[in-house]
Structure 1
């Protein structure tokens, strides 16, 4: 009798995609997998919505998908609360329906419940059913180490960390971290509701039976070791941490699929390692002025480029993430004549880009990225050097570790002021593609790519870590049965 693993991802492409890859690992080990989803409280092409879920389900027929009965959505417009707090409350309200679904699976068949890092409220649903509960942390071990140490850092503080500006903070396992680079919500006063809610999430992430992390040991060895150090959170023993990545999408092997994407056909005609790829993730957007500045920098650089352009968000208000943005109007957004002048060496696209395929294409030589962890892992696995342009969430923290610890990237320093100038983009693009420093960076990435491949092979560190996780679940269940 096959056992069933239930996965409960957070909303959005950046959460569902890596958990889908984790599901495939469970399938390879002989388990049935059910991914439990909730209906988004708004329809947004950026957050995936039903079309994204349908696409994921269609391409992963071996995974069962169960959508919980929809609950009334919060009134985002009328409420004075931050949208993140409203989303958290809605997520907690799903505990009842989740528990009810778990009870439809015979207990002897239920192997484990694996929760997304923003779904740790569901620990209570798992406990009610008596199933082992684990966390899946989609960002890296460095981020996990910082946020795990964060509650102790702010305990007793009478002011928010934003008062510290760029003052470096010392966390075990990572380079000195400027206070300004932490997740924005954590910089508020420790007693403010938003900061308290986020701090509670990070604490509960390590209150499960263990944490599966989307990374591989050699990429973040210091951070991974810090999470096993008794000094990480004084007075508290953390659960086991399993580095089981990189869990990323596979390159498309279908010739038909390649024909559908004009960017792949275009890349086929470019020299090896000659193209700069610019893409800022499923939610990252830049201002109209910044888009024009990028265009100027790319044109001056003289380098080949593939650029995924998305329409600017309507405002800097947090509710911008609840909007559905229109397709980018390239003629209005880019400098007059830019597309014509650069047509022989550049391609600008305003539709979805098959990022894994682009990064693994021989013609791709550099990647200008927002430093979302999925993108970082995809570039490392492809051996492509990165230029860091962090925008939000944990991306600035990732930037620090990518440049100061992993040696896989250089930074575009203008991100600190919120505006990267054309001159800096031109210089850094040339540095990575043409200069000796760029050649050294590519050599390091080639080594990292081999390490990533080795980690996922039979006997590799990530394969061993996953096997240890399965053994620990088995021992946990056996111990409970003997105790009964």
Structure 2
């Protein structure tokens, strides 16, 4: 009976793309010993971007198959956070995951079951089926180190982190973190998402192993803390495999290919690229402040602008091209900056952009996929975290990796003034500190490429993981 590795990502573009890249990685290094089956939820956070990417992968990789669950709807009007609704949605799909695994096992031997952290509700299913069950942790070793310590912190703190504005927590293996900068689902103890995430973190210890999209040279402090058992008091850490960087180069949209042509006409390392992820939307006043900062900086820029968030729909923003720039941008901005700037509506092919020689800096929301893409391209960053675990990522980027400059954000809403953005852009592009960041980023790029060399750390880790699966 042929073997297959079953992967189960949580909904959301970043999580699905990362899991698909893991599937490709298994196929490339297993010499066709296994096929890959990817389970997909239907309904919450589905987007045209995900669907088109899945269709492209299906055509290019015949050994990767996708199984879509029946659609499930959730009440979006519930009095709880979007994260809580998303976690409930995934939990409701657990019976579909069980049914899929049972059907797959009739014709194929399930060599391993790999789940996203947010799919912890299926951890016991894999265990009950006596299938080696792994987590694929789509963020870095630094956040993993913190997440391993969250259950202990939960027992020590009785209130909500959002109500502790002056409190700073100290973790093993990661820089200190302010209570109000905790990952979004942990901020409010009264919200169901808080208890869900603590449960997810506890589940990590019950797995057969943790796969992490990082590499040893990128996060040596956090990786050592995890390996030395410093992140857990009593329980042993499951085997951990650092197999990154995995980068998903989503196909560019034809209408935006002109931005690549524009970049090719700009001087080397002269352009600042601003892009804030699939959920990175701003209020109209914040968009105007960004525009003012860019104009005053006198730097070349490529800026992806999305529609403002729709408060009636707490849902991932679609990449709609219908962005009213005349409404969002200051009057005359486009005309005044036309010789050195380009504004793109909704989407730009980020991986391709970052790898253009003219790009010298990246203003990012600190999503882990974006960080890795910048690392592989050797581009230094300006860190502007927006949601999820991104403030923790920011601290690692700035303090441990020393590959980014942080922006000062207003407490509460995270607002950044145009004056602050101008200051940080100039610092990155003109100062000696910026030059040092650029040199350090380029050296890390070389280390990222070396991780997948014949004797690289990620190549060795993947070999160990595959052997582990075979033994299981």
TM-score normalised over the length of structure 1? 0.91
Look up the SS of the partner of 1:32 in the other structure: strand
Q: Counterparts in 2 of 1:310-349, with a 5 A limit?
A: 310-315=306-311, 319-321=313-315, 327-349=322-344
Deviations along 1:340-378, whole A, 9 cap, x unmatched? 111111110004211000001101000000000000000
1:44 Cα deviation after fit: 4.9
1:152 Cα deviation after fit: 0.3
Q: Counterparts in 2 of 1:424-463, with a 5 A limit?
A: 424-463=420-459
| Contact 1:258–1:264, Cα closer than 8 Å, also in 2 | no
Match of 1:225 in 2: 224
| Contact 1:21–1:247, Cα closer than 8 Å, also in 2 | yes
| Contact 1:99–1:128, Cα closer than 8 Å, also in 2 | no
Match of 1:40 in 2: 43
| Contact 2:269–2:359, Cα closer than 8 Å, also in 1 | yes
| Contact 1:116–1:135, Cα closer than 8 Å, also in 2 | yes
Q: Indicate the RMSD between aligned Cα atoms, in angstroms.
A: 2.2
Look up the SS of the partner of 1:308 in the other structure: strand
My pick for the range that moved more, 101-110 or 262-271, is 101-110
Match of 1:176 in 2: 176
Q: Distance in 1 between matches of 2:14 and 2:140?
A: 13
Look up the SS of the partner of 2:363 in the other structure: strand
Q: Distance in 2 between matches of 1:163 and 1:116?
A: 30
Match of 2:397 in 1: 402
1:222 Cα deviation after fit: 1.2
Q: Counterparts in 2 of 1:141-180, with a 5 A limit?
A: 141-180=141-180
Match of 1:16 in 2: 16
Aligned partner (choices 407, 421, 427) of residue 412 of structure 1: 407
Q: Distance in 1 between matches of 2:86 and 2:427?
A: 42
Aligned partner (choices 297, 302, 307) of residue 306 of structure 1: 302
1:42 Cα deviation after fit: 6.2
Q: Distance in 1 between matches of 2:250 and 2:390?
A: 24
Q: Distance in 2 between matches of 1:249 and 1:158?
A: 40
Deviations along 1:279-316, whole A, 9 cap, x unmatched? 0000111110111111111111111100000011023x
Q: Distance in 1 between matches of 2:454 and 2:249?
A: 18
Deviations along 1:249-307, whole A, 9 cap, x unmatched? 2498xxx9889601101001001100000000001111101111111111111111000
| Contact 2:278–2:318, Cα closer than 8 Å, also in 1 | no
Is the alpha carbon distance of 1:258 and 1:441 closer, same or farther for their aligned partners in structure 2, counting shifts above 3 Å?
A: farther
Q: Distance in 2 between matches of 1:367 and 1:322?
A: 22
Look up the SS of the partner of 1:134 in the other structure: strand
Unaligned 5+ segments in structure 2 are: none
TM-score normalised over the length of structure 2? 0.93
1:467 has 2:463 as partner: yes
1:131 has 2:134 as partner: no
My pick for the range that moved more, 133-142 or 178-187, is 178-187
Q: Counterparts in 2 of 1:64-463, with a 5 A limit?
A: 64-71=65-72, 73-77=73-77, 79-106=78-105, 109-189=109-189, 193-250=192-249, 261-315=257-311, 319-321=313-315, 327-414=322-409, 416=411, 418-463=414-459
How many residue pairs match? The answer is: 466
| Contact 2:205–2:235, Cα closer than 8 Å, also in 1 | no
Unaligned 5+ segments in structure 1 are: 478-484
Q: Distance in 2 between matches of 1:369 and 1:323?
A: 17
Q: Distance in 2 between matches of 1:59 and 1:305?
A: 34
1:60 Cα deviation after fit: 4.5
Deviation beyond 6 Å, 4+ runs, structure 1: 256-260
Q: Distance in 2 between matches of 1:52 and 1:329?
A: 27
Deviations along 1:115-151, whole A, 9 cap, x unmatched? 0111111112212322110000001010111011011
Match of 1:481 in 2: none
Q: Distance in 2 between matches of 1:115 and 1:106?
A: 17
My pick for the range that moved more, 358-367 or 225-234, is 225-234
1:431 Cα deviation after fit: 1.4
| Contact 2:304–2:346, Cα closer than 8 Å, also in 1 | yes
